[in-house]
Structure 1
Amino acid sequence: MKTFTWKLNAGASCEVVHQVTKTQFGDGYAQRTSFGINNKRTDWSGVKTGDFATVIAPIMAFVDEHKGITPFWWTNPHGKRCKYICTDYQVAQRKGNFWQIGLKFEQVF
């Protein structure tokens, strides 16, 4: 399994998702239970800026190679190495040859 080695710019954010099953009853009562063994997932969003040819294009090639289905290792900003997938990204030109790529990493088990 390959490793995503680029560091995201400062300002990356995470979203913690707890997988739960909810049963709603007619009297307003709801019962919730955790769903699955790994019911807590941490997804990350962030950007990387730099020269198109040396920074952005290699990141695009890495993500494209994994096609949104093959997991890869990445060490998140908290220093925890986990498996992630990246299904899409956004690329924007900032000025001249200075570009930005926006990524969302979804944790997988």
Structure 2
Amino acid sequence: MHTSVTAAVCAAAASVPLGTGTAAAAQPAPNVVGMSEHSARAALEAQGVPYGVVNRAGTASGDCHVTEQRDRGYRTEIDMRYNHDKDEFERVETQVWRGVGLAVVCI
């Protein structure tokens, strides 16, 4: 029963498009849906992709697999820099990619 439920959840999650719905993935990231949590973390770290588990279900000590992967979009960092020519501060906004969020199911 658990194997067929996990397979169905993985298949359903694999059919969900990546992204937040408004745009494609902000940065290229390997698709880790269906991998074990350990393998997914290793793959993302090897590529230098920031990630976080945004949803976890089941027993953490069990066999955990990634069932969904979502682009978390960008955050805006604001910095004030002094312009000596104009003798004033200027607002500088930098977009920083937040990486991917993973949904993990453990059985």
Fold conserved between structures, TM > 0.5: no
TM-score (norm 1): 0.28
More strand by share: 1
Higher Cα Rg: structure 1 or 2?
A: 2
